[in-house]
Structure 1
Amino acid sequence: MDTATSPEARRADMVAKVRKAGYARRAEVERVLLDTPRHEFVPEADLDAAYNPWQAVITHRFSDGRSLSCASAPFVVAMMLDQLPVNPGDTVLEIGAGTGYNASLLARLTGRADLVTTIDIDPDVTDQAVRNLTAAGHGDAHVVTGDGTAGHADRAPYDRLIATVSPWDIPDRWWRQLAPEARLVAPLRWRGQSRGVGLRHVDGRLVSDSMHLSGFVYLVTEDEGERGAPITPDGTVKLHWDADQAVDPDLLHGVLDLPRAIAWSDSTIAGDEPHDGIWLRLTVTEPRVCRIDAHPDVASEVCDPIQRFRAPALVDGQSLAYLTSRRREEGDDVRWELGAIAHGPDAAELAGRLCAEVRDWSAERDARKPTLLIYPAGTPDGDLADGTVIDKTHSRFVLTYDYVPA
């Protein structure tokens, strides 16, 4: 075999690229990524796909083609393990078994496969995970077929809990299965966006110490709190919002047919510069923020968000505004100016409001840091930290946006 294209060489190259991008910062995370043959967990993928640092490998799909289960992209795996982190001897619960690859990494980190429990609702997924883990020498890991929202009380409490599917809430049974000083990492959803959040369990609440933009298969649950509906007759443009928000999609059906109001912020970004902090800031400052999705085939004259598949939007009754951008050349430098497109009776006000938020973000983007605190449902208002409160079914989210000490 050509050693340059061997699985070992590709794995080393994958890890090098992941580290260069700023992930696998912990030596033990780098080690287990190098030691674990990822391609053996995704035999349906060729080596290029198995060791692509930036792409997930889809392993199971719903009947409509949507992803049901996958092996997460290696950079995401590394990011979440950095956020966790696992110490030797830790008990670990993983929500979302996938291919068993994550559980194998966790077994190497904790030192004993029998300290790892992974759960998935789909028996086909857990069957595959069992086969892969056994072949990898980690057959002592506990693979459970069941409802991930229930956790697995038989082996609680857990020092570490990691969700590789995206929950809208922290289920109450997860709370009860956390050890007093546990850590939890999950791609949480609120106000239409998703963040991989690292949390510490402190004094009966969860406090974030890291946050990254992320996108995952949704956690299957009966009390899903994200709502969605089309606002065009053909269903190619949709809104997504939380259950506690006053959004009536019937009032917005056809709103894109109304005249546009366009505003520009005079704030610019480079083509490769992240702007997701705008959305995160809006979840703290603007109760009307949600998500708009536009199919790639939708004409820009109809809907032109900054990203077709997900962009922040503001909704107020019969009016809608969303984030957009336009190319702006500044000498030899090409940048993108951020702005807002709005429709409806209050279009001008909403577009102006969104642009004001963009300008505030641009002026303070490195000076302020978001923090998420999560309390069990029923926690009295007086016991919450100061901040923006988002009430969910099993928990209360409190978001702050504080200045970072110089």
Structure 2
Amino acid sequence: MPLLHEPDGAQVGLRLEDGPQPDIEALRTALTTDPAESWSGVTVGAEEATDGLDLFLASVADGWALLTAQRGAIQAGLIRPIVLTGTPALVDNDGASFAYRVLRKISGQERWEFGAVGHGPHATPVARQLTDLISRWDRNHRGGPGPHIELLPTSIPTTDLPPGRVVPKRHTHTVLTWDRRPSSDT
């Protein structure tokens, strides 16, 4: 996992699963830029599970990554992730900007709003991209059945695969399709 900030006790890492590797030096520089925030309007309760959102982001977002951090990086004000061991993040197409998911408490309530903090030359657009995906999940998939997952052998040409997000693996193609949740007003 590439480290964007290396001092012991204050390390910040960015783990990317697949796809082209971004410019690590550019991302290290991005981390030192002023952050840009975007807020989704999507809220969550203290005990409410968000694993459906995490799976949605991982399966639909190009440039999906996990941001990891040690406490020293947070105490220094470098970043403020939700989970130290892996907060959903996006690296934008230029490979020199990234955003990660954050929460802010709603005053007077036991609810928090999802947002994103972006860094780099395209900090604002990549933060908005992440909050747009969070809003899409909330609007179309939250509380729904989750994705339909098919495992198909690699002998099937990619042109013959069903529609959906294809995750190529050594022996299989994993195809994830997110159907819209049923409307509550029907």
Question: Which of the five TM-score ranges fits, normalised by the shorter chain?
Answer: 0.7 to 0.9
Q: Following superposition of structure 1 onto structure 2, how do residues 147-158 of structure 1 map, counting pairs within 5 Å? A: none
Q: Following superposition of structure 1 onto structure 2, how do residues 391-402 of structure 1 map, counting pairs within 5 Å? A: 391-402=168-179
In structure 2, do the counterparts of structure 1 residues 405 and 362 end up closer, same or farther at CA, with 3 Å as the change threshold? closer
1:293 deviates by: 0.5
Match of 1:237 in 2: 12
Deviation per residue, 1:104-156 (Å, 9 max, x gap): xxxxxxxxxxxxxxxxxxxxxxxxxxxxxxxxxxxxxxxxxxxxxxxxxxxxx
1:255 aligns with 2:30: yes
1:298 aligns with 2:76: no
1:374 deviates by: 1.7
1:282 deviates by: 1.6
> Counterpart of 1:393 in 2: which secondary structure?
coil
Check conservation: 2:165, 2:175, Cα contact below 8 A.
yes
Name the Cα RMSD after superposition. Answer: 1.9
**In 1, distance between residues paired with 2:29 and 2:84?**
18
> Counterpart of 1:238 in 2: which secondary structure?
strand
In structure 2, do the counterparts of structure 1 residues 271 and 343 end up closer, same or farther at CA, with 3 Å as the change threshold? same
Q: Following superposition of structure 1 onto structure 2, how do residues 157-176 of structure 1 map, counting pairs within 5 Å? A: none
In structure 2, do the counterparts of structure 1 residues 294 and 361 end up closer, same or farther at CA, with 3 Å as the change threshold? same
Match of 2:64 in 1: 289
Which of residues 158, 161, 171 is equivalent to 1:384? 161
Match of 1:225 in 2: none
**In 2, distance between residues paired with 1:376 and 1:250?**
37
> Counterpart of 1:253 in 2: which secondary structure?
helix
Match of 1:338 in 2: 114
**In 2, distance between residues paired with 1:267 and 1:380?**
39
1:404 deviates by: 4.7
1:294 deviates by: 0.6
Bigger RCO (CA 8 Å, 6+ sep): 2
**In 2, distance between residues paired with 1:272 and 1:371?**
26
In structure 2, do the counterparts of structure 1 residues 394 and 250 end up closer, same or farther at CA, with 3 Å as the change threshold? farther
Deviation per residue, 1:210-246 (Å, 9 max, x gap): xxxxxxxxxxxxxxxxxx1111132611111123344
**In 1, distance between residues paired with 2:117 and 2:160?**
40
Larger of the two Rg values belongs to structure: 1
1:368 deviates by: 5.0
Match of 1:175 in 2: none
Deviation per residue, 1:281-321 (Å, 9 max, x gap): 12332111111101123225211111111111000210010
In structure 2, do the counterparts of structure 1 residues 339 and 383 end up closer, same or farther at CA, with 3 Å as the change threshold? same
The number of equivalent residue pairs is 177
> Which sections of structure 2, spanning at least 5 residues, go unmatched?
none
Give TM-score, length-normalised by structure 2: 0.86
Match of 2:42 in 1: 267
> Which sections of structure 1, spanning at least 5 residues, go unmatched?
1-227
Which of residues 370, 382, 395 is equivalent to 2:147? 370
In structure 2, do the counterparts of structure 1 residues 394 and 249 end up closer, same or farther at CA, with 3 Å as the change threshold? farther
Check conservation: 2:98, 2:119, Cα contact below 8 A.
yes
> Counterpart of 1:262 in 2: which secondary structure?
strand
Higher helix share: 1
